[in-house]
């Protein structure tokens, strides 16, 4: 039975959802220590894809140093089994654009193809894959991160994972209130999705070492400041695992 079900019979419909027992854990965080209810928490992992992290992916092919993007992969792979064992749903939120790019407005395309002649979203790469195209190697998760059958996948088409996607519906059906954020880039897609989540009423917690970026360091500093000051909280995977261990 899912977290959001009725009990049905031919003669009767029980509108009560399944009871979910609270599972509180304490986690060190900023600006204050947190108590998380694991039964109402999900992990949203953003854009941990070949085009952003792999040495043969899109960013590397256009000369971007992707070492910062690959940084959080090992830490996330280490904590995922503990989160799953604690019943925390994992949502993989990744760029996955239509082959015809019909729902991409020019502003989104311009960010990645500023002169109209560069390699942008949907364009072919030397290996034959197309940049961030749904179903392609480019848009696939990096090999080090292996989804489980119970994980959920949502394709996005903007910096934020909420516009023009089913992300909010998926999270509402999971009946979660608190979102842990991991992924790339800390100051771009992770931050944009986190801000939209906060504006929709979710509790948001950015897990610092589970996020990475190819931007300069001051971008991360500003993002962490803004998350703590305006939207939610930050923690680390060590603090999260310490809470899970108790």
Q: What is the torsional sign of CA 140, 145, 151, 152?
A: negative
For the chain, give every domain's residue range: 21-245
Q: Which of 51, 53, 156, 211 is catalytic?
A: 156
Q: Is 187 a catalytic residue?
A: no
| 27-48 pLDDT per residue, tens | 999 999 999 999 999 999 999 9
Identify whether 177 is a catalytic site residue: no
Neighbours of 146 (CB within 10 A): 10
Q: What is the pLDDT of residue 169?
A: 98
Q: Give the whole-number percent of the chain exceeding pLDDT 70.
A: 100
**pLDDT at site 26:** 98
Which ranges constitute the DSSP H helices of the chain?
Answer: 50-53, 58-61, 67-70, 73-85, 106-112, 167-174, 191-199, 217-226, 237-245
Please report, for the chain, how many H helices and E strands are present, in that order: 9, 10
Round the average pLDDT of the chain to a whole number and report it. Answer: 96
Is 47 part of the annotated catalytic residue set? yes
Q: Assign 112 a pLDDT band (cuts: 50, 70, 90).
A: confident
**pLDDT tens readout for residues 123-150:** 999 888 999 999 999 999 999 999 999 9
Q: Taking the model in full, what pTM does it have? A: 0.96
Distances (CA, A) of 82 to 46, 87, 128, 246: 19, 9, 37, 12
pLDDT reading at 212 higher than 80:
yes
Shortest CA distance to 93 belongs to which of 190, 186, 2? 190
What is the architecture of the domain spanning 21-245?
3-Layer(aba) Sandwich (3.40)
**Catalytically annotated residue among 51, 53, 187, 189:** 189
- The pLDDT score that the predictor gives to residue 52 is 97
What is the predicted pLDDT for the residue at 246?
Answer: 84
Q: How far apart are CA 23 and CA 39, in angstroms?
A: 6
């Amino acid at each position: 039975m899912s977290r959001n079900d009725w009990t049905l019979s031919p003669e009767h419909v029980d509108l009560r959802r399944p009871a979910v027992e609270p599972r509180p854990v304490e986690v060190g965080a900023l600006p204050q220590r947190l108590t998380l209810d694991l039964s109402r928490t999900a992990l949203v992992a953003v854009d941990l894809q070949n085009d952003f992290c792999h040495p043969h992916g899109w960013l590397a092919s256009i000369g971007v140093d992707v070492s910062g993007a690959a940084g959080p992969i090992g830490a996330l792979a280490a904590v995922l089994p503990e989160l799953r064992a604690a019943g925390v749903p994992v949502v993989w939120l990744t760029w996955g654009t239509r082959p015809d790019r019909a729902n991409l407005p020019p502003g989104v395309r311009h960010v990645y193809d500023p002169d109209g002649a560069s390699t942008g979203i949907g364009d072919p790469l030397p290996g034959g894959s197309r940049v961030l195209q749904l179903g392609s190697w480019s848009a696939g998760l990096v090999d080090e991160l292996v989804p489980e059958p119970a994980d959920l996948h949502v394709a996005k088409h903007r910096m934020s994972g909420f516009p023009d996607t089913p992300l909010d519906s998926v999270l509402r059906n999971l009946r979660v209130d608190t979102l842990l954020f991991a992924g790339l880039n800390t100051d771009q897609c992770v931050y944009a999705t986190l801000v939209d989540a906060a504006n929709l009423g979710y509790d948001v917690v950015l897990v610092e070492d589970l996020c990475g970026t190819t931007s300069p360091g001051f971008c991360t500093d500003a993002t962490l400041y803004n998350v703590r000051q305006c939207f939610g909280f930050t923690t680390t995977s060590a603090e999260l695992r310490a809470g899970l261990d108790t």
